[in-house]
């Protein structure tokens, strides 16, 4: 496996369900991110983890709960979501602090809340 | 507040018809400006990073340029496989490592 891997690729869940999105990076990066991509909107930053510590929470509702157990893995736990939470959820990683600030993105999880 | 505005929203070109995409930005201090390509159903793919006004970078038919207020992505003699959404993002000094994205330009190149 190379790059950034996200699972599952597609997820349909009811508003009362609990599910988790998983992200794994194989690049040796030290920072990981969750972004939300909705139609006709720019990518919205949700959470930033730097060396496993959460450094940003961009006013995200508590029904989204991130977890970063180590620098290679990132989870997004979902519960009691709303239909407007349906979107493409993208994970990314970068090597912060080296002068190369570009992100590598995963392919995303397409989430549909019914 | 940092702002990124991309234009046009959508662009249709004939194969071989060169054009440019625009990214205007407002940021307190620019650490870097990024261009990504995104195909349907996939995550964004990194193209370029530009750090200072006057800088230019090229890759195949793409060339990115940067001024103090905007960046252009020039596409020379495009091919149908260049069809995608092109995203611009800025990273501000003092903002950690977060990228602030524009809405993107959807490019369609027809044969």
Cα–Cα distance for residue pair B109/B96, rounded to 1 Å: 37
Residues of A in contact with B36 (CB under 8 A): 105
Enumerate residues 6+ apart whose C-beta is below 8 A from A54.
A47, A48, A66, A68
CB contacts < 8 A (A, B)? 62
Residue B35 forms contact with A (CB below 8 Å) = no
Tell me the three state secondary structure of residue B82. helix
> Is there a cis peptide before residue B8, judged by omega within 30 degrees of 0?
yes
Tell me the three state secondary structure of residue A83. helix
Tell me the three state secondary structure of residue A43. coil
Tell me the three state secondary structure of residue A96. coil
- How far A91 CA lies from chain B's nearest CA (Å)? 9
Residue B24 forms contact with A (CB below 8 Å) = no
Dihedral (C-alpha) B71, B75, B81, B83: value to the nearest 10 degrees? 50
Residue of A nearest to B3 (CA): A42
Contact criterion met (CB < 8 Å) for B103 and A48 = no
Contact criterion met (CB < 8 Å) for A90 and B44 = yes
How does pLDDT run along chain B (111 residues), one tens digit per residue? 789 999 999 999 999 999 999 999 999 889 899 999 999 989 999 999 999 999 999 999 999 999 999 999 999 999 999 999 999 999 988 777 788 999 999 999 999
Contact criterion met (CB < 8 Å) for A43 and B49 = no
Instruction: Give contacts of A 49-88 with B, CB under 8 A.
Output: 50, 55-56, 58
| Most confident region among A1-15, A78-92, A96-110 by mean pLDDT | A78-92
Residue of B nearest to A96 (CA): B97
- How far A80 CA lies from chain B's nearest CA (Å)? 25
The angle subtended at Cα B98 by Cα B93 and Cα B101, nearest 5°, is 105
Residues B88, B80: contact at Cβ < 8 Å? no
pLDDT digits (tens, 9 = 90+) for A33-90: 999 999 889 999 999 988 777 777 778 999 999 999 998 999 999 999 999 999 999 9
* Closest to A28 (Cα-Cα) out of A96, A76, A89, A90: A96
């Amino acid at each position: 496996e190379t790059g950034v891997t996200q699972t599952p690729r597609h997820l349909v869940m009811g508003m009362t369900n609990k599910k988790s999105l998983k992200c794994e990076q194989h690049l040796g990066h030290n920072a990981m991110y969750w972004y939300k991509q909705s139609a006709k909107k720019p990518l919205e930053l949700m959470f930033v983890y730097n060396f496993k510590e959460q450094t940003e929470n961009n006013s995200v509702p508590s029904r989204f709960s991130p977890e970063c157990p180590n620098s290679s893995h990132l989870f997004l736990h979902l519960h009691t979501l709303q239909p407007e939470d349906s979107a493409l959820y993208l994970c990314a990683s970068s090597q912060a602090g080296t002068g190369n600030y570009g992100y590598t993105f995963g392919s995303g999880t397409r989430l549909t809340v019914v | 507040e940092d702002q990124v505005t991309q234009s046009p929203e959508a662009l249709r070109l004939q194969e071989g018809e060169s054009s440019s995409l625009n990214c205007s930005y407002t940021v307190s201090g620019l650490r870097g400006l990024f261009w990504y390509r995104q195909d349907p159903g996939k995550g964004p793919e990194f193209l370029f990073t530009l750090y200072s006004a006057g800088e230019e970078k090229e890759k195949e038919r793409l060339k990115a340029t940067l001024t103090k207020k905007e960046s252009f992505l020039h596409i020379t003699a495009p091919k149908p496989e260049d069809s995608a959404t092109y995203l611009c993002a800025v990273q501000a000094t003092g903002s950690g490592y977060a990228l602030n994205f524009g809405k993107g330009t959807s490019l369609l190149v027809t044969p």
